[in-house]
Homo-oligomer: A and B are copies of this chain.
Amino acid sequence: MEKLFQQIEEHASLYQHWLLSMCNQPSISAKNIGMQEMKELVIQLLEDLGADVEEVVTAGYPIIYGQIDNGSKRTLTFYNHYDVQPPDPLAEWMSDPFKARVEDGQIFARGVADNKGNIAARIAAVHAYQKVHGDLPVNVKFIIEGEEEVGSPNLKKFALENPEKLKTDAMIWEGGMRNIHDKRPHISFGVKGICFVELRVRGAAFDLHSSEGAVVENPAWRLVWALSTLKNENEKILIDGFYDNILELTEKEKAFFQTMDYDEEHTKTHYQIDNFLTGVTGLELKERLTAAPTCTICGLEAGDTGQGAKTVLPSRSKVKIDFRIVPGQTPKMVIDLLRKHLDQHGFRDIEIEQLAGLLPFNSDSENPFVDTVIDSMKEVYEEPPIIMRNLAGSSPMEKLLANTEIPAAQIGVANTGSNFHGPNENIYIDDFIKGIKATANVMRHFGDV
């Protein structure tokens, strides 16, 4: 271990050079800027490691697939993406987003946190291990897509059509970060799923004068009544069967809550709220963030939304609802139960359109890989890790991992102030180096198992 970490420190400037060269190459999938050049740069780095690289054609940008198969017992796969968000709002950047700025131990560039820093860290870890030991302790695969920032529209198809490329014993996912205030690193083993729907109600063929509200149905009222049957003020979701299939938390998963930090006072001050929802606090709050499914109104619209008193009876209303779902639930299940619920409550006329859907994904906490990652992290970071059964958010993890037994961990080089998708995106060089060590250490221990 000593030698491995020493090697990484000695090659820090080389690894940083790789990272900066990637940051200086724009690769905005949403705008088709620099995607080809970035792909070639990544392929070159992989080939320099000795990986067999293949470009997998998709309907969008190709997926870079790399493999170093040395006949090891186990295979570890790194998922990353070579595309980044557009740099808007450009005016708020203190330097060119595609000309990495190194200052006071930080690197500022679009994509340095999300997730070129992680691409570089995975490649550097492999490189360092090879330098020290000649050969890797595991077979390694790289799956690096070019469409994560536009919703990974072709990733599921890739998984379905390339089962042999997906054959792996574990996966290291992008993501992961470190607290700014106490430097504790985050490890998470999954994500919530999402079922995002729009409900639409229709009234008359056109907006009427509001005095007609005396006798003509109001789709805004119908929407209110329908919604009020979906969730009550205690946050209980009232859709029949909604909670039925949810997997219970294991004791080990519950223990993870103990490691989580959530600065309630800071958050309350920052958000300017008096309390959390229904007054939750402490472990219960962490459990709710991690393990509770949600039913969140993201948008509501009917009639006149301008200034002043416009006396209109709306002809249409709509709501956008984001259901975050947890292991045992699927978007389809939510849609089906919601349809049934609305029908049974007299809202057959309400139209449901699903706008997004992702399965939840959770690693089995009993899989040895989970402890391997946790232990490997503890050897690299002095600060005790924050361990999350899953994030409160969602990600395309399920597109590769749904219905597999493959465990996956999100660890990475970013920090809680990295400003993903925002201006002045940044990482600390120290976190980059530690991220390389952590990756290398996971490989090492996973090879030991």
Query: Of residues 198 to 221 in A, which have CB atoms within 8 Å of B's CB atoms?
Result: 203-206, 208-218, 220-221
Across the interface, do B228 and A224 meet the contact criterion of CB distance under 8 Å? Answer: yes
Q: How many positions in chain A have a CB within 8 Å of any CB in the partner chain?
A: 72
Which 7 pairs across A and B sit closest by C-beta, in order of nearness?
A213-B296, A228-B228, A220-B297, A205-B272, A204-B271, A309-B355, A300-B302
A150 within 8 A of B: no
A210 to B391, CA, bound (A): 13
Contact with B along A386-418 (1 / 0, CB 8 A): 000001111000000000000000000000000
User: Cβ of A216: which chain B residues have Cβ within 8 Å of it?
Assistant: 271, 273, 276-277
Q: Which residues of B contact A277 (CB under 8 A)?
A: 214-218
- Pick the residue among B231, B302, B309, B356 that contacts A221 (CB under 8 A): B231
**Contacts A213-B294, A299-B303, A299-B306 given; 20 further ones with Cβ under 8 A?**
A196-B311, A204-B271, A204-B273, A210-B296, A211-B324, A211-B394, A214-B392, A215-B288, A215-B289, A216-B273, A218-B277, A220-B300, A221-B227, A224-B224, A227-B228, A298-B314, A300-B303, A303-B320, A309-B320, A309-B355
CB of A312 closer than 8 Å to a CB of B: yes
Is residue A100 contacting chain B, with contact meaning CB distance below 8 A? no
* CB closest chain-B residue, reference A308: B355
CA distance A392 to B216 in the complex (A): 12
- A71 contact set on B, CB distance < 8 A: none
- CB of A310 to closest CB in B, whole Å: 6
Closest-by-CB residue of B relative to A215 is B276
Whole-angstrom distance from the CB of A73 to the nearest CB of chain B? Answer: 38
Give the docked Cα–Cα distance between A346 and B296 (Å). Answer: 20
Q: A220-B297, A305-B300, A317-B300 are in contact. Are A211 and B192 (CB under 8 A)?
A: yes
A285 at the interface (CB under 8 A from B): yes
What mask results when residues 306 to 327 of chain A are scored 1 for a CB within 8 Å of chain B, else 0? 1011111110011010101000
User: How far is it, in angstroms, between the C-alpha of A124 and the C-alpha of B221 when the chains are bound?
Assistant: 48
B289, A311: Cβ atoms closer than 8 Å: no
CA distance A288 to B192 in the complex (A): 49
B residues near A231, Cβ cutoff 8 Å: 221
Q: Is B393 in contact with A209, judged by CB distance below 8 angstroms?
A: yes
